[in-house]
């Protein structure tokens, strides 16, 4: 607390790093899917194709978040140190 390093300082830094990794992974997934969306010309595709793409994109984001949150949880646990 107040910038004074203590026994939890390393753990807090590890958790912070994992949270930043999680945010970065979600941003990367979004950037890749946005790039694919426009590169494949899906902005003018049928509604069903757009829906299918959105479902795949959502599943990819959920997978990234689940993996990232599991890493954050592991970093927070005493065994994760």
Give residue 68's domain range. 26-80
In a domain, 32, yes or no: yes
Question: Is there a domain that residue 73 lies in?
Answer: yes
Is there a domain that residue 41 lies in?
yes
By C-alpha distance, which of 62, 55, 52 is closest to 29? 62
Q: Is residue 51 part of a domain?
A: yes
Alpha helices per DSSP H over the chain: 9-39, 47-76
pTM exceeds 0.95, yes or no: no
64 assigned to some structural domain: yes
Tell me the C-alpha distance between 29 and 65, whole Å.
Answer: 10
Residues of the chain above pLDDT 90, percent: 78
Instruction: Determine the pLDDT at residue 77.
Output: 85
Based on the structure, what is the number of domains in the chain? 1
- pLDDT, residue 22, reads 97
Instruction: State how far the Cα of 40 lies from the Cα of 8, in Å rounded to an integer.
Output: 48
């Amino acid at each position: 607390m107040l910038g004074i390093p203590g026994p939890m300082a390393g753990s807090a830094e590890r958790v912070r790093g994992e949270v930043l990794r999680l945010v970065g992974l979600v941003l990367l997934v979004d950037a890749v899917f946005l790039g694919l969306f426009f590169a494949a010309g899906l902005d003018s595709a049928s509604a069903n194709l757009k829906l299918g793409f959105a479902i795949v994109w959502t599943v990819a984001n959920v997978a990234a978040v689940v993996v990232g949150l599991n890493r954050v949880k592991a970093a927070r646990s005493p065994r994760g140190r």
